[in-house]
A and B are shown apart, each in its own frame.
Chain A
Amino acid sequence: MTAIPLRPPRRLVDLTLDGEPVRAPEDSTLLDACRAAGKDIPTLCQGDTLTPKNACRVCVVEVEGARTLAPACSRRVEQGMEVRTDTERARHSRKVVLELLASSTDMSTTPRAAEWIEEYGAEPDRFGADAARVDEEPKVDNDLYVRDYDKCILCYKCVDACGEQWQNTFAIAVAGRGFDARISTEHDAPLTDSACVYCGNCIEVCPTGALSFKTEFDMREAGTWNEAAQTETTTVCAYCGVGCNLTLHVQENEIVKVTSPHDNPVTHGNLCIKGRFGYQHVQNHAQNRD
């Protein structure tokens, strides 16, 4: 049975998307309207379970009469709005944003990044070999997950998921300013000395792979990570009575990571440490037991 969340009926507003008249519920975003119309707008800091910080600016579109471009992920639809998603100006900003990101961070594990870079004709190398990079070493300070901030684009999603939008643990925040800003615990202490409860809900929302299971990180290092060879099985967590959904990612008969369906009406992709990381008993093979 799928639960259908009930909402009060919403008024529809009329707007134009790339010249086509469309109707969208009031309070929906331009991104919702674009997606409903089948338009593919790139996004990074937007997530289906979070209110976006609209920090990445890769989803910008042109709104008639506005001085600057608008982030589709956050701007609400308005009656009579004329929106263009594919103008030269919008494409230019998306291209430059991709170039700026790819020239300063490692986007090798960001889904769709390579595709967008090609689509927008971005050339991250044009800033030269001396272009400043984030230059961070992976932080491996616990057995469960790794923070590789060389891949971090500062989308704020992990901070929001750890903090007031989901977990209310507040173990991490943005520290520093400008190009030196980083996601950090207090005084940059290791996670084991922080408020982290290892729910892994930050990994769930990370759009670039900067946060990953230790298993995934190690397998990538060893060159054995192979997503094509993995199966995904959604099941119910056996630990307590809440009944959270787990999606087990299995490669060669080993669980390599655990995610949770974002459309679950109760948990929205969030888990606790047990559901997220407590799967060893399932594969406690005889040869591992010694």
Chain B
Amino acid sequence: MDLRFGDSKPTDEERAAIDALLGPPESAWEGADDRTDTDLRWARGGREARERRDLLLPGLHALNDRVGWISEGGLDYLCRRLTVPPAEGYGVATFYAMFAVKPRPATVVHVCTDLACAARGSAQVCADLERDVGPAGSAGSGAVWQPSPCLGLCERAPAALALRAGETPQAAVVAPATAGAVADAASAPHEAAAEPPAVAAVPQTGATSAPLAGGDGLVLLRRIGVVDPGSLDDYRAHGGYAALRRAFALGPAGVIQEVTEAGLVGRGGAAFPTGRKWSATAQQPDHPHYLVCNADESEPGTFKDRVLMEGDPYALIEAMTVAGYATGAHRGYLYLRGEYPRALRRLRTAIDRARSRGFLGKDVMGQGFAFDIEIRRGAGAYICGEETAIFNSIEGRRGEPRSKPPFPVERGLFGKPTAVNNVETLVNVLPILIEGAQAYARTGTDTSTGTKLFCVSGTVARPGVYELPFGATLRELLELAGPPESLRAVLLGGAAGGFVRPDELDVPLTFEGTRAAGTTLGSGVVLVLDEGVELPRILLRIAEFFRDESCGQCVPCRVGTVRQEEALHRLKDRTGAAAAGDIALLREVGQAMRDASICGLGQTAWNAVESAIDRLGAFK
């Protein structure tokens, strides 16, 4: 490919950051400074370099982590190294909210203004920051702050995340956040107070522990707070790697059969039967097969996967190994959202240790099965949690969803058969293998088996991740979490979900039960809103979220989400007849988004607003 590169040169820092990732350039064709005789005789790069295109996103991270933004020279050098057209590299860099292509200070503070944080005072934090440090986006004293979509720290809302670029990039979580604490973290992220342990987000294990509704112990969360997340030995002492051992005894087909019989369905929101997905992937004649773990947990109000990854990282590593074994994949990609620094750290450690002890690598547990895991970090794009957008993101392209068919099981990552599963789904495989499918399926209902994690946030006494058997009611869950005195509504399933009223709390928390009630479990978000909530403001925030996060590929979503937000702006102070026109407009645009958008983002962008109008009587 005859690519044209500009004249901008990388700084020494930028070059070092890229070279640390890719190794030094082998020739002037790949951006080495000095041209050698061989360079004049043989062209280098080409297909070999192009096949490393998937390192574009890690390369952009390397630049951003080192200097805080992506300069022309830095991007040019990265593109040259990977033989990526600079226009495409620029298109990818500008796709992600965590990257900037204009100079900015090394420290960027993301202040969450999303639903759960808004319900617990993020507006005040922002107002204070504006007064004390200046408006969002204005650079001052080496740092800049900006409002952010959900950071997945809802149990400690309001939350902020400070990221500082440098030779050793630093990250500090400030939650619950005050303007003062945010400013302190911005000026010295390395001195920020340590985060509470992951178990603090699991009220069922704490001193305030309330018994589980079903009387059973915790299943998915049982090791959180019990094991040392850094210790492989401790994990094994608590039942770790028993499931993988059983998997090897059963063989790949046996594992798939257990998972199918257990009735496990995907926990990411779509509730697709996992066994069917695995079996379809395993049967594909095309090779290699890939496994992708979707840890791009970005649905506003969702933080269960973070708690699992921070509190019990080896469980995910083991579950991915089982999934790889069952589907015939030898490589798993763990796509982790960019806003989870602690989960990243712990998973990296866990993968390294598992590899050094033979639980990953060429010969897993001496069983002759080769499997390894690579972490890929997202960079601030909700859409990359879509099952096909995640492939484009990993491949170094813009994270735009692909049209289906073909489905991932036929043509997924790198065009090969791929099983893509959510973190919680994968972790469920461990108890299935240890207890057996039938024992697992005894928990829950006939069509929703096992337990489910719920992310309870908003105005409750004990926000956090709760694990309940499927079939418990919303009322039971709220009782555990300590509901507000005057409940206005509960948002189930996040921004793509729907509201339920206080008189609907007996809805059983199952896939079929919520569907029958005209709502959805989604990713397990339970956002509790009391009477003090300004519903129009919440709806506007949801609309802003979808406008910001639409990838822009298809018209219904790209423009529809903008029109939806504009209508909700107009509706902010209107009710009754004055609101009727805009509500009709919202319905028409919403219907077209639902029917004609390419992917789930556009198709569900109107769900929550619709349910607020129809069920809660918003704007009446």
Contact = CB atoms under 8 A, between A and B. Distances in A.
Given A177-B552, A187-B101, 18 more contacts: A68-B594, A68-B596, A100-B563, A127-B566, A132-B566, A154-B553, A154-B555, A173-B87, A178-B548, A178-B552, A179-B547, A179-B558, A185-B90, A186-B86, A186-B89, A187-B72, A189-B6, A194-B4
16 contacts: A57-B598, A68-B594, A92-B591, A96-B588, A96-B589, A96-B591, A97-B596, A100-B592, A127-B566, A128-B570, A173-B88, A176-B552, A181-B552, A193-B6, A195-B86, A195-B87
A245 interface: no
Contacts of B133: none
Given A68-B596, A69-B595, A174-B398, A55 B91 contact: no
Nearest to A105: B559
Nearest to A195: B4
A28 interface: no
A180 B556 contact: no
Contacts, number: 162
Interface residues on B, range: 35 or more
Interface string B384-418: 00000000000000100001010000000000000
A56 interface: yes
Contacts of B1: 168, 170
A20 interface: no
Interface in A163-215: 163, 168, 170-181, 184-187, 189, 193-195
Interface string B534-576: 0000000000000111111111101111110010001000000
B547 A68 contact: no
Contacts of B298: none
Interface of A: 53-58, 60, 68-69, 71, 74, 76, 89, 92-93, 95-97, 100-101, 103-104, 126-128, 130-132, 153-154, 163, 168, 170-181, 184-187, 189, 193-195
B597 interface: yes
B94 interface: yes
A170 B555 contact: no
A27 to B, nearest CB: 12
Contacts of A126: 585
A175 B560 CA distance: 19
B405 to A, nearest CB: 8
Contacts of A187: 72, 75, 90, 101
B562 A179 contact: yes
Contacts of A57: 554-556, 596-598
B303 interface: no
Contacts of B556: 57, 93, 96-97, 100
A131 B566 contact: yes
Nearest first, the 8 closest Cβ-Cβ pairs linking A and B are: A170-B85, A181-B552, A96-B592, A173-B91, A100-B559, A186-B86, A195-B4, A93-B596
Given A56-B555, A96-B556, A96-B588, A178 B91 contact: no
B95 interface: yes
A92 B592 contact: yes
B87 A101 contact: no
Contacts of B398: 174
Contacts of A163: 85, 88
Contacts of A53: 553
A180 B549 CA distance: 11
By CB atoms of chain A within 10 A, which of B1, B553, B603 has the most? B553
Contacts of A93: 556, 591-592, 595-596
A170 B603 contact: no
A97 B561 CA distance: 12
Given A60-B596, A96-B592, A54 B403 contact: yes
Contacts of A100: 555-556, 559-560, 563, 589, 592
A97 B566 CA distance: 17
Nearest to A196: B4
A272 to B, nearest CB: 14
B63 interface: no
Contacts of B403: 54, 71, 74
A197 to B, nearest CB: 9
B592 A154 contact: no
Contacts of B6: 186, 189, 193
A187 to B, nearest CB: 5
A18 to B, nearest CB: 18
A153 B552 CA distance: 11
Contacts of A97: 555-556, 592, 596
A177 B87 contact: no
B381 interface: yes
Contacts of B76: 186
B208 to A, nearest CB: 42
Contacts of A92: 588, 591-592, 595
A55 B551 CA distance: 11
Nearest to B592: A96
Given A132-B566, A187-B72, A176 B86 contact: no
Contacts of A173: 85, 87-88, 90-91
A101 B559 contact: yes
A54 B554 CA distance: 8
A193 B94 CA distance: 19
A177 B552 CA distance: 6
B3 interface: yes
Contacts of A195: 3-4, 85-87
A237 B136 CA distance: 57
A171 B595 contact: no
By CB atoms of chain A within 10 A, which of B90, B550, B585, B603 has the most? B90
Contact of A154 (B552, B562, B570): B552
A194 B592 contact: no
Given A128-B566, A186-B90, A174 B552 contact: yes
